[in-house]
Structure 1
Amino acid sequence: MKKQLITGFLALLVSLSLIAQEQQYLVFEFIKVEPNRVLDYLEYKDFLAEVHKVSKSEGHIEGWDFWSLQSGSDLEGENFQYVTVTYYQDPVKMMNGNDPDQLVDLAISAFPEMDEDQVRNKIRDAMDMRDLAVRSYMVEVARTSDAFEFKPGMLASFDLMKAVEGKFQDYERAEKEVFLPIHQKKIQADLMENWCFLRTALPTGSEAKSTHLTMNIYANYLQFFNSMEYEDMEITEAQQQAVEAGLNSRDQKWVYLATLETLVR
């Protein structure tokens, strides 16, 4: 019996480890750049992409995206122009991802012709030309099953949600059991490329502006608008009620449309 318990416990640990490996951790950074420094910041973006290539090769990150915002509601009056998304394998790497000394070391590896002072000055100048208004640490809760691959020019809708107080679990259940199948149908109908549902990875209080985020990926604007017109003719009355209950369990705070400009994979 004791041997069976030990075997069962080890199996559970292996199972939990595999689940953890399948989870994805993401950091979203909403950025505002001074109008007269946009070209300078886009040059820094190219510099940063090379640095992230080294970061990925060394196992610090899984990937990095640079998105240009097309439209969206202003968050606290800020007119964001860009969003970066950095992907991590585990929460520890995610929390260590903003170590400035690590960034300097990676930059020197990516640009060996630059010395430490030059790298630090370049990073400092970039920090001065932009305002990092919002940084969100997220963990993936659910995603669609597809053969999707990120490519420059793709369109994303970043929908920031806040679960209604007392309905946190109801909302997550609705996204996984009600809305995920709907998005899966859209993908099968070539009306969407990918969808994932994310939860804030750090503890938040009742005053938090958002608790979740959905990332909806489309090949282009034509697919996006066709998707908006989609209506499931086979939906039952019970399923429609489940959709309405799911909508009532969260408050859709902001929606941002963005185009993928640069990526590291």
Structure 2
Amino acid sequence: MKKIFAIIICALLWVSSSYAQDDTKYMVFEFIKVENDMIFDYIEYKDLMEKVYRQALNDGKISGWDFWSLQSGADEGDFQHIMVTHYDDPVNMMNGLDTEAMIKYTKIAYPHLTDVQIGKMFQDELEMRDMPMRLYMREIVSTDDDFVMKPGVLASFDLMKAREGQFDAYERAEMEIFRPIHQNRIEQGVMGHWSFLRTALPQGSQAKSTHLTLNMYKDYMQFFNGQAYEDMNQDDAQRAAVNEGLNSRDQKWVYLATLENVVR
């Protein structure tokens, strides 16, 4: 009996340890549209929110928060900002930060504000913006780097859709072919960071996108150098593999954005 009990305890400890060591990252991407006459008001609001999300980070509810200003994209008229909230597990991601939690963290960040003032602040925010698209994503793989997130960083948000019947082939291409290419770019100093994400929610065949890649650069100089960089060391077999990988997916949209606020 004691032996069985010991085996059960060991098994539970192993499962707990495995879960604790899971460093998978989860992110919610919210694409925000603000009416033109409300843009400056919204900029003031999101600057206030940086301290609120820092309280959520200190409380362990999130693992990070980014606010990006869109520079270009296929449908940039539909929104001007991208907000990314980072989580360390899928349950926290799906629960998100409800109104009660946001009010709690706002009171901590701004203790001088009354309940009425806080309520008005959130009500005004709802009237200032629309959110035409929200994506729940799970990071599959990323590059090895020491990239530092700070205001002024540039990122290319590339929304992809795996072609029908080629979901697994596309993911293998990103992990086995494109990741080494991006890792080489980072080592050459023409890129800061790259990550590959998959939608965390089941989607049907009519979904607009299934994956997202993030390409980050420390500034415009690195970004333009990255666009001009070409790996001349690829042989014919490698180029064929790259082309096959490209053909396994459809690049739906590409958005270039600048980081304005960050909480880590």
TM-score (norm 1): 0.93
In structure 2, the residue matched to 1:259 is 258
Shift of 1:5: 8.1
C-alpha distance 3-239 of structure 1, shift in aligned 2 (>3 A): farther
User: Is the Cα contact below 8 Å between 2:78 and 2:132 reproduced in 1?
Assistant: no
Shift of 1:18: 4.7
Distance 1:16 1:197 in 2: 23
Distance 1:60 1:252 in 2: 33
- Greater alpha carbon shift after TM alignment, 254-263 vs 115-124: 115-124
Shift of 1:117: 2.5
User: What is the CA deviation profile of residues 122-180 of structure 1, one whole-angstrom value per residue up to 9, with x for unaligned ones?
Assistant: 11111111111111111100000011110111110000001111111111110000000
C-alpha distance 234-12 of structure 1, shift in aligned 2 (>3 A): farther
Letter aligned with residue 36 of structure 1: D
User: Runs of 4+ in structure 1 displaced over 3 angstroms?
Assistant: 1-12
Matches within 5 A, 1:143-154: 143-154=142-153
User: What is the CA deviation profile of residues 175-206 of structure 1, one whole-angstrom value per residue up to 9, with x for unaligned ones?
Assistant: 00000000000000000000000111111111
Number of residue pairs the alignment of both structures matches: 262
Structure 1 residue 171 corresponds to structure 2 residue 173: no
Shift of 1:118: 1.8
User: What is the CA deviation profile of residues 81-136 of structure 1, one whole-angstrom value per residue up to 9, with x for unaligned ones?
Assistant: 11111111111111121411111111112111122222121111111111111111
- Greater alpha carbon shift after TM alignment, 45-54 vs 222-231: 222-231
Distance 2:255 2:11 in 1: 44
In structure 2, the residue matched to 1:33 is 34
Matches within 5 A, 1:201-216: 201-216=200-215
Shift of 1:241: 1.2
RMSD of the alignment, in Å?
2.0
SS of 2:53's equivalent in the other structure is helix
In structure 2, the residue matched to 1:184 is 183
Letter aligned with residue 152 of structure 1: P
Shift of 1:79: 2.9
SS of 1:138's equivalent in the other structure is strand
Distance 1:128 1:154 in 2: 29
Structure 1 residue 101 corresponds to structure 2 residue 103: no
Matches within 5 A, 1:1-265: 13=15, 16-18=18-20, 20=22, 22-74=23-75, 78-265=77-264
SS of 1:17's equivalent in the other structure is helix
User: Is the Cα contact below 8 Å between 2:74 and 2:255 reproduced in 1?
Assistant: yes
Shift of 1:13: 2.7
Shift of 1:63: 0.9
Distance 2:207 2:114 in 1: 41
TM-score (norm 2): 0.93
C-alpha distance 15-119 of structure 1, shift in aligned 2 (>3 A): same
Distance 2:17 2:162 in 1: 29
User: What is the CA deviation profile of residues 17-48 of structure 1, one whole-angstrom value per residue up to 9, with x for unaligned ones?
Assistant: 2553x100111111110000111001100111
C-alpha distance 8-102 of structure 1, shift in aligned 2 (>3 A): closer
Letter aligned with residue 55 of structure 1: A
User: What is the CA deviation profile of residues 222-253 of structure 1, one whole-angstrom value per residue up to 9, with x for unaligned ones?
Assistant: 21121112221111211111111110111000
SS of 1:227's equivalent in the other structure is helix
C-alpha distance 12-176 of structure 1, shift in aligned 2 (>3 A): farther
Distance 1:219 1:120 in 2: 37
Distance 2:234 2:14 in 1: 38
Distance 1:183 1:11 in 2: 37
